Copies of this chain bind each other. A is one copy, B any other.
Amino acid sequence: MADPSTSPPLTRASVQEARELIRPFVHQTPVMTSSSLSALVSERITGGGGGGGKGGEGGTKKKRPKVRLWFKCENFQKVGAFKARGAFHAIERLKKEPGWWGEGGKWERGVVTHSSGNHAQALALAARANNIPAHIVMPSISAAPKIAATKGYGARVVFSGSTSVEREAVTAQVVRDTGARLVPPYDHPDIILGQGTLGLEFQEQVEGMMREGGAYGFGGGGRKGKKKRNKGLDVILAPCGGGGMLSGVALSCADTGILVFGTEPSFQGADDAKRAYQSPEGARIPAVSSLTIADGLRTPVGAHPWSVIYERRLVAGFYSVTDAQIRRALRLVYERMKIVVEPSAAVPLAVALYDGEFGEWLEREVGGDDEEEGDGEGEGLDVGIVFSGGNVSLEALGKLFAEEEEEEEGS
């Protein structure tokens, strides 16, 4: 990977540049809305009412929910997750490095990473799109479909033990053997900037949808001169594993007035970023060992992301949820929105629906206001939720919901 010191500065403008670089290679994923889920969150606050929930369906007399959710659907991204953005951006940046691209350049030695998840497939795809060899180090205990998928993108898979020490040793050996360049999954400015492009799209898309009207009773006739109309998002909730995407989204929101919150699973200490953020010292926690169902978020937050998240305070805070809450949110996404997301992607929605601290924050922000009394329009809160990916095996999903049933029976 390019030397981090040669990367563009970590600014919103650099995210905009990254977006231009990767535009030909990634999807602009859709933004979805859900009046029933917005109503469920709105019901958490005093005077929030049901709004556009089931009671409001049918097109008549719909009350605008006080909290309106907007979902950025990176489950529809290439390779099924936002990771395609960072991987394509890393490759584009490498291509700009002197001596790397072109005839006889270092690209011929390829790129390498260690990952058994979405980053592996993303890098394999981005490399193949440029005819660059890709070496992916995966634990030999990885699920067969993941290995097959990575090979399916044309990558060479190299097996290792399953501890991080073992994986890094094998990766270093691949670098020595092949001269391939390491492209880490999150702890690098180029990755951060690539992931951040989803935040820029998200902001523009929501503004556009508000202008066009339709969702949540925006637009339409007879509403003029009201304050805060089409103001766009107020808040974005994003999952935090290594923090590459969260810090990128935070950069994309710098100086926009949009608050960005990180969300994590709390199971077995996977909420490392929250704990570090709230500790007196603010010291990053460098190791996590959790088997949370949100398997994309078992990673400790990285150093480069942390500099954006904490040291520059571009993330406004963290919330965490239990695995049972994640399962409940996941079920709602399938049942109400009819889309496939992976457990990690359901974490921000679980926070919006179930976390007590976030509920208190909502109450302080919008509780008690009575739309009937005020001017009504533009009030309430527009909350963006990042659906980070959709890669989950149907077998794993079946087990997940079977466990949920048992839990409910037991309680």
Q: Which residues of A contact B (CB under 8 A)?
A: 24-26, 30, 54, 57-60, 75-76, 78, 80, 125-126, 128-130, 152-153, 331, 334-335, 338-341, 390, 394-395, 397-399, 401-402, 405
Interface core residue of A30, A75, A339, A399 (most chain B CB under 10 Å): A339
Q: Which of B58, B60, B130, B335 contacts A394 (CB 8 A)?
A: B335
A331 CA to B126 CA, complexed, in Å? 26
**Is A75 in contact with B125, judged by CB distance below 8 angstroms?**
no
CB pairs A–B below 8 angstroms (29 shown):
A24-B59, A25-B59, A25-B60, A26-B59, A30-B30, A54-B152, A54-B153, A57-B78, A58-B125, A58-B126, A59-B129, A60-B129, A76-B338, A80-B338, A331-B394, A334-B340, A334-B394, A335-B394, A338-B341, A338-B390, A339-B339, A339-B340, A340-B340, A394-B397, A394-B398, A394-B401, A395-B401, A397-B397, A398-B401
Shortest beta-carbon distance, A330 to chain B, in Å?
9
Interfacial chain B residues near A24, Cβ < 8 Å: 59-60
Q: Which of B26, B60, B341, B405 contacts A395 (CB 8 A)?
A: B405
A76 CA to B401 CA, complexed, in Å? 22
A153 CA to B54 CA, complexed, in Å? 7
**Is B57 in contact with A125, judged by CB distance below 8 angstroms?**
yes
Interfacial chain B residues near A30, Cβ < 8 Å: 30
A-side interface mostly: helix
**Is B58 in contact with A129, judged by CB distance below 8 angstroms?**
yes
Instruction: Look across to chain B and name the residue whose beta carbon is closest to the beta carbon of A62.
Output: B129
Shortest beta-carbon distance, A80 to chain B, in Å?
6
**Is A128 in contact with B58, judged by CB distance below 8 angstroms?**
yes
20 other contacts beyond A394-B401, A397-B397, with CB at 8 A cut-off? A24-B59, A24-B60, A25-B58, A25-B59, A25-B60, A26-B59, A54-B152, A57-B125, A57-B129, A58-B78, A58-B128, A60-B129, A75-B338, A334-B340, A334-B394, A338-B340, A394-B398, A395-B401, A397-B398, A398-B399
Interfacial chain B residues near A397, Cβ < 8 Å: 394, 397-398
Give 3 closest A-B pairs by Cβ, nearest first. A58-B129, A398-B398, A338-B390
Shortest beta-carbon distance, A117 to chain B, in Å?
16
